[in-house]
């Protein structure tokens, strides 16, 4: 806490008292997991594979778009282990091949070949492959044992031993500049087939010897209809290449192992009574159950989006016969059925139907990964991993009874933005609150009202006691302590909140902040993958009986058009509110403190003609807007043009440009702009100096921190700029340029300070810099703040420090009233979150200590910033690929709720000034109360004894 006056010199005395109450800041061992939780995710699954073909295996391997290779427990859905590779194309998984104990991965467009031990998740070996873009890879096996892996690149093919990764041979592909090699195949023989083609001309088959990589033969087959081997050809049966062509509406077969010059044989689809749907590119799917054996002669032909045909190639490869026509119709949006069919005959197997309910708020199934096995009684069982459009994974098992075993919400691996919303009050609490909300109508009715609400409270308490008593008699296992939406209510200190998370896939989640349980989810269809999101809380829970209301602004990057999704953040339900029509691209939005008669704040949407649309746009709001129009300003930052422009709203909801600042894009680029958080409270308006005078803070609510980076990245000439601009007038309050520095810049703008972190290219280290703004020893106007009436520029103090680690993100703690001192939460690349006291980032830290600075409790300046291990708030719960930290105040002034998200989600509480307003967690109630009772009884007894003694003395 900040001692706000010197009278607060008494504070040390009190501090001693507090110190007895709360001693520690770090988490004790027994507190692990008490206030915090972590959920680990892997991302959207690209490749999935089951462990072994037995029933007992419980491992599942997935490789995802987040460059992660992980093993899941198929019984619970938990992670066994997870390997997180580099972000971006460098770590992208090209393919995953699993064979017995080995899982092979080609990574980074054919940069690396890795083999993992599937049992423990350890790396067997890793080899760096020759340069060249990756095309295909397959296992090569002879006589049922797989010993090699072949990797086909654009210009070369290489064969590696499976045991140690050593390269057996590498051969350049002939004519690789004209021929596109796209597939590699091995049917369990001594040969490796490489398929290449010249589009619309011919197909080439190159056969390599497994032993030494010599070209055994080379064939060229006329195929003027062929445009891509990858997309239209598969190998079926014993080395028969099957291709499909949309233009000629025919299947083409070719025996690739044939010695003499082969020819494609055309089978018209019409002859099989098949027809391709309009505008659909037919796709072939074949299955190779074991890499050392040839693929099955049965294969699928997809003729339409929902239309598949199972076809069978006869033994000699001459005839194709359709086995079964699959035309599932998605009429029922509530449930899906999975059936198992025999590949030989196309018949449905009995008792293999699994019906699993589809979440109404989820996406449609996209892909199935099936694992069929023989049960002990020789009947067939299977497991299915269903991947849906919303990146959710559902695991279904058919054993004794079919059921959904678990569901993983992998969309949460990519959280874009989030908000925390207070939970609603319970009925009784609302009753009590409502009492104060109602208008006073005389003394007696007020008393009656108070009495009635007290009676209701008493009733609720009795009911609670009865419930406790009733449950105490039940066995412990029956009591479920699960959180459901129905039982949700605000706790005493408002520590439990609803986390509303928006993910990049367009799925929204409502998560209970105390337990991490997903309470609701809602999938928004038709959200572009690169859409921009902005989540706004329009109405909080405070306006009972009006439900809270959140609005999500989704902007399509391609068209620029925006849509609004209005929902109730507690239940996730879409609100039935008429939305404004948004025919023009939306540039920005701003939330006004103007409320309509239903207590919803007004949201203004600015379109590309700088006209404004209000939502909600009731008459009440429009009237208020017209009255206030002259004091509503907004700013837009266009980083491509390098302009900052400020606008003022007119009464007709158009706007006028009032200022513009141009930062030439040839020199520097605007990277980020941040204002202050509107929910922030600043308790103290100034700082107390050593001589007991006050240095008043410059608390301009309209201040913007604009960060620029130089376009020149040469270490000697690179620079980083920090501009403090008034968002109303466009006045540049301060300008700080850090020479020989470059980004990425992470910064926090709060109260009267800006903290930013950059890379110093000269000294090659990370540095923190802090800017603090003060008005001076006198306030210009203590009652109102207007940017238009500020003749004096603030005093700016700056100091820089060396930080021993790079950082990934930064945020400041936030508390209810702003009395508690601030900490910076710094996310490190290691996945740790450091809670750094703002006290260390104070430009008034003196180089020479004197009486005054000691009086102010200023730490002497030291260029190095320490990292103390007890400052890590997430102990060993590291957060992979930390992307953002969100802070929210709780009902307790000492406590700030923190959510860190990235690949994982972590929630905890921090106490920047320790827990000064609440008894600590392990407060010994039993000891204290027993001592109290013991003393009470001792007093009673000794009082009695003393009375007896006095009486006896009186008789003497």
Partner 1 sequence: MASPGGQGSGALSTRGGVARRMKWALELSLGNTRGRGDRQSNQGDVMYPIGYSDKPVPDTSIQETDKNLVEKRCWDVALGPLKQIPMNLFIMYMSGNTISIFPIMMVCMMAWRPIQALMSMSATFKLLENSNQQWLQGLVYSVGNLLGSALAIYKCQSMGLLPTHSSDWLAFIEPPQRVEIMGGGMVL
634 binds partner 1, rule: CB under 8 A: yes
- The sign of the torsion formed by the CA atoms of 868, 871, 876, 878 equals negative
List b or e across 301-314, with b for residues whose CB sees 16 or more CB atoms inside 10 angstroms: bbbeeebbbbbbbe
638 binds partner 1, rule: CB under 8 A: yes
* Cβ closest to partner 1, residue 577 vs residue 591: 591
User: What's the closest the beta carbon of residue 594 comes to partner 1, in angstroms?
Assistant: 8
Residue 554 — left, alpha, or beta (φ > 0 → left; ψ -120 to 50 → alpha)? beta
User: What's the closest the beta carbon of residue 776 comes to partner 1, in angstroms?
Assistant: 12
Structure tokens at 412: 């949460």
User: What's the closest the beta carbon of residue 307 comes to partner 1, in angstroms?
Assistant: 40
Q: For residues 711-730, which are near partner 1 according to CB under 8 A?
A: 727-728
The residue ranges of DSSP E strands in 401-496, in sequence order, are 402-409, 415-422
Out of 633, 747, 756, 911, which residue is the one contacting partner 1 (CB under 8 A)?
A: 633
User: What's the closest the beta carbon of residue 415 comes to partner 1, in angstroms?
Assistant: 18
Q: Which part of the chain contacts partner 1 (CB under 8 A), choosing from 150-158, 411-419, 431-439, 589-597? A: 589-597
* CA 288, chain centre distance (Å): 36
Distance CA 302, CA 281 (A): 9
Give the residue from 403, 389, 387, 305 showing the smallest Cα distance to 353.
403
User: What's the closest the beta carbon of residue 191 comes to partner 1, in angstroms?
Assistant: 56
Q: Which part of the chain contacts partner 1 (CB under 8 A), choosing from 487-495, 586-594, 919-927, 936-944? A: 586-594
Burial (CB < 10 A; 0-12, 13-18, 19+), residue 257, is middle
Q: For residues 757-796, which are near partner 1 according to CB under 8 A?
A: 779, 781-788
Whole-angstrom distance between the N-terminal and C-terminal Cα of the chain? 62
Q: Which part of the chain contacts partner 1 (CB under 8 A), choosing from 56-64, 83-91, 688-696, 866-874? A: 688-696
Out of 288, 613, 702, 820, which residue is the one contacting partner 1 (CB under 8 A)?
A: 702
Give the residue from 413, 407, 411, 417 showing the smallest Cα distance to 389.
411
632 binds partner 1, rule: CB under 8 A: yes
Out of 430, 590, 653, 918, which residue is the one contacting partner 1 (CB under 8 A)?
A: 590
CA distances from 166 to 40, 101, 191, 853 (A): 35, 18, 19, 66
In the block, which residue shows the tokens 């089978």? 267
4 binds partner 1, rule: CB under 8 A: yes
Structure tokens at 486: 């129905």
Distance CA 322, CA 38 (A): 51
Q: Which part of the chain contacts partner 1 (CB under 8 A), choosing from 80-88, 461-469, 671-679, 757-765? A: 671-679
Out of 149, 606, 720, 724, which residue is the one contacting partner 1 (CB under 8 A)?
A: 606
Q: Which part of the chain contacts partner 1 (CB under 8 A), choosing from 323-331, 699-707, 823-831, 912-920? A: 699-707
628 binds partner 1, rule: CB under 8 A: yes
User: What's the closest the beta carbon of residue 605 comes to partner 1, in angstroms?
Assistant: 10
User: What's the closest the beta carbon of residue 7 comes to partner 1, in angstroms?
Assistant: 6
Structure tokens at 54: 């037995």
Distance CA 660, CA 672 (A): 17
User: What's the closest the beta carbon of residue 859 comes to partner 1, in angstroms?
Assistant: 20
66 binds partner 1, rule: CB under 8 A: no
CB atoms within 10 A of CB 451: 10
> Parallel, antiparallel, or unpaired for β 905-910 and 59-64?
unpaired
What is the dihedral angle through the alpha carbons of 625, 630, 634, 635, rounded to the nearest 10 degrees?
160
Distance CA 818, CA 833 (A): 22
367 binds partner 1, rule: CB under 8 A: no
Distance CA 246, CA 275 (A): 10
CB atoms within 10 A of CB 553: 21
Distance CA 577, CA 574 (A): 9
* Cβ closest to partner 1, residue 10 vs residue 285: 10
Out of 200, 692, 852, 944, which residue is the one contacting partner 1 (CB under 8 A)?
A: 692
User: What's the closest the beta carbon of residue 620 comes to partner 1, in angstroms?
Assistant: 17
Out of 147, 650, 683, 844, which residue is the one contacting partner 1 (CB under 8 A)?
A: 683
User: What's the closest the beta carbon of residue 550 comes to partner 1, in angstroms?
Assistant: 17
Out of 15, 343, 404, 699, which residue is the one contacting partner 1 (CB under 8 A)?
A: 699
Q: Which part of the chain contacts partner 1 (CB under 8 A), choosing from 209-217, 672-680, 758-766, 911-919? A: 672-680
534 binds partner 1, rule: CB under 8 A: yes
CA distances from 807 to 124, 222, 869 (A): 32, 58, 16
327 binds partner 1, rule: CB under 8 A: no
Distance CA 117, CA 95 (A): 16
Out of 240, 292, 411, 694, which residue is the one contacting partner 1 (CB under 8 A)?
A: 694
User: What's the closest the beta carbon of residue 575 comes to partner 1, in angstroms?
Assistant: 22
Q: What is the DSSP letter of 574?
A: B
* Cβ closest to partner 1, residue 605 vs residue 810: 605
Helix (H, G, I), strand (E, B) or coil at 486: coil
532 binds partner 1, rule: CB under 8 A: yes
Distance CA 239, CA 223 (A): 18
User: What's the closest the beta carbon of residue 782 comes to partner 1, in angstroms?
Assistant: 6
User: How many chain residues interact with partner 1 (CB under 8 A)?
Assistant: 63
Out of 10, 32, 337, 940, which residue is the one contacting partner 1 (CB under 8 A)?
A: 10
Binding site for partner 1 (CB under 8 A): 4-7, 9-10, 12-13, 532, 534, 553, 555, 562, 586-593, 604, 606, 628, 631-639, 670, 672-673, 675, 681-686, 688-689, 692-694, 699, 701-702, 727-728, 779, 781-788, 955
């Amino acid at each position: 806490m900040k001692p706000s006056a010197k009278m607060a010199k008494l504070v040390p005395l009190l501090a001693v008292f507090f110190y007895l109450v709360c001693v520690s800041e770090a988490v004790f061992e027994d507190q692990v997991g008490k206030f915090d939780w972590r959920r680990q995710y892997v991302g959207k699954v690209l490749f999935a594979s089951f462990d072994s073909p037995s029933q007992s295996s419980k491992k599942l391997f997935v490789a995802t778009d987040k460059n992660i290779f992980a093993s899941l427990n198929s019984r619970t859905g938990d992670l066994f282990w997870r390997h997180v590779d580099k972000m971006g194309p460098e770590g992208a998984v090209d393919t995953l091949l699993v064979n017995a104990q080995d899982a092979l991965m080609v990574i980074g467009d054919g940069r690396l070949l890795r083999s993992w031990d599937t049992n423990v998740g350890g790396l067997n070996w890793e080899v760096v492959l020759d340069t060249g873009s990756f095309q295909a890879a397959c296992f090569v096996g002879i006589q049922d044992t797989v010993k090699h892996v072949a990797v086909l690149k654009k210009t070369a093919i290489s064969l590696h031993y499976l045991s140690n990764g050593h390269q057996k041979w590498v051969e350049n592909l002939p004519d690789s500049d004209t021929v596109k090699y796209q597939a590699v195949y091995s049917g369990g023989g001594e040969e490796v087939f490489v398929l290449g083609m010249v589009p619309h001309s011919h197909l080439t088959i190159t056969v390599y010897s497994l032993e030494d990589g010599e070209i055994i033969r080379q064939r060229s087959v006329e195929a003027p209809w062929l445009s891509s081997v990858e997309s239209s050809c598969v190998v079926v049966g014993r080395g028969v290449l099957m291709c499909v062509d949309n233009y000629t509406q025919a299947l083409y077969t070719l025996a690739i192992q044939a010695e003499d010059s082969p020819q494609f044989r055309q089978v018209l689809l019409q002859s099989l009574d098949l027809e391709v749907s309009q505008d659909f590119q037919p796709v072939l799917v074949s299955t190779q159950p074991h890499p050392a054996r040839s693929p099955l002669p049965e294969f699928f032909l997809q003729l339409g989006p929902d239309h598949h045909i199972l076809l069978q190639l006869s033994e000699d490869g001459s005839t194709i016969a359709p086995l079964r026509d699959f035309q599932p119709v998605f009429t029922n949006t509530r449930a899906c059925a999975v059936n198992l069919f025999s590949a030989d005959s196309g018949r449905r197997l009995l008792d293999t139907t699994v019906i699993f309910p589809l979440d109404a708020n989820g996406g449609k199934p996209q892909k199935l990964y099936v694992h069929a096995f023989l049960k002990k009684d020789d009947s067939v069982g299977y497991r299915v991993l269903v991947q849906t459009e919303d990146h959710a994974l559902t695991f279904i098992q058919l054993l004794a009874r079919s059921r959904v075993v678990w569901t993983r919400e992998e969309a949460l691996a990519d959280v874009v933005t989030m908000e925390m919303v207070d939970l609603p009050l319970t009925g009784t609490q609302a009753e009590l609150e409502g009492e104060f909300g109602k208008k006073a109508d005389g003394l007696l009715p007020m008393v009656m009202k108070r009495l009635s609400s007290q009676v209701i409270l008493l009733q609720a308490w009795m009911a609670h006691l009865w419930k406790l008593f009733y449950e105490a008699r039940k066995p412990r296992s029956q009591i479920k302590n699960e959180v459901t939406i129905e039982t949700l209510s605000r706790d005493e200190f408002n520590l439990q909140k609803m986390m509303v998370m928006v993910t990049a896939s367009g799925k929204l989640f409502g998560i209970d902040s105390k337990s991490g349980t997903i309470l609701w989810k809602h999938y928004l269809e038709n959200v572009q993958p690169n859409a921009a999101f902005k989540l706004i809380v329009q109405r909080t829970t405070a306006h009972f009986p009006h439900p809270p209301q959140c609005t999500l602004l989704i902007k399509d990057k391609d068209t620029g058009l925006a849509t609004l999704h209005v929902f109730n953040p507690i239940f996730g339900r879409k609100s039935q509110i008429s939305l404004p029509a948004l025919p023009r691209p939306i540039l920005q939005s701003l939330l006004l403190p103007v409320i309509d008669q239903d207590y919803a704040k007004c949201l203004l949407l600015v379109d590309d003609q700088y006209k404004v649309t209000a939502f909600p746009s009731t008459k009440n709001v429009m009237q208020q807007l017209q009255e206030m129009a002259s004091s509503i300003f907004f700013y837009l930052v266009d980083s491509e043009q390098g302009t900052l422009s400020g606008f003022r709203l007119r009464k007709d909801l158009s706007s006028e440009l009032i200022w513009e600042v141009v930062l030439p894009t040839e020199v520097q680029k605007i990277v980020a702009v941040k204002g202050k958080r509107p929910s922030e409270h600043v308790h103290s308006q100034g700082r107390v100096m050593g001589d007991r005078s006050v240095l008043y803070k410059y608390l301009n609510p309209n201040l913007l921190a604009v960060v620029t980076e130089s376009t020149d990245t040469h270490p000697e000439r690179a620079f980083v700029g920090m501009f403090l601009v008034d968002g109303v007038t466009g006045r540049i309050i301060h300008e700080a340029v850090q020479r020989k520095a470059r980004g990425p810049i992470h910064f926090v703008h709060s109260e009267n300070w800006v903290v930013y972190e950059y890379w110093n290219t000269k000294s090659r280290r990370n540095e923190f810099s802090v800017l603090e703004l003060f008005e001076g020893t006198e306030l210009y106007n203590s009652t109102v703040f207007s940017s238009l009436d500020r003749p004096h520029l603030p005093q700016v103090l700056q100091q820089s420090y060396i930080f021993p680690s790079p950082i990934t993100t930064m945020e400041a703690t936030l508390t209810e009233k702003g009395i508690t001192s601030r900490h910076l939460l710094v996310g490190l690349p290691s996945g740790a979150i450091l809670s750094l006291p703002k006290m260390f980032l104070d430009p008034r830290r003196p180089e020479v200590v004197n009486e005054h600075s000691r009086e102010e409790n200023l730490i002497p300046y030291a260029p190095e910033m320490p990292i103390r291990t007890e400052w890590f708030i997430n102990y060993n719960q590291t957060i992979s690929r930390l992307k953002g930290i969100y802070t929210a105040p709780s009902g307790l002034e000492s406590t700030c709720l923190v959510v860190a998200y990235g690949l994982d989600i972590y929630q905890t509480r921090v106490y920047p000034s320790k827990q000064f307003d609440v008894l600590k967690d392990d407060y010994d109630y039993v000891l204290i109360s027993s001592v109290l009772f013991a003393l009470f009884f001792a007093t009673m007894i000794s009082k009695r004894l003393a009375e007896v003694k006095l009486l006896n003395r009186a008789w003497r």
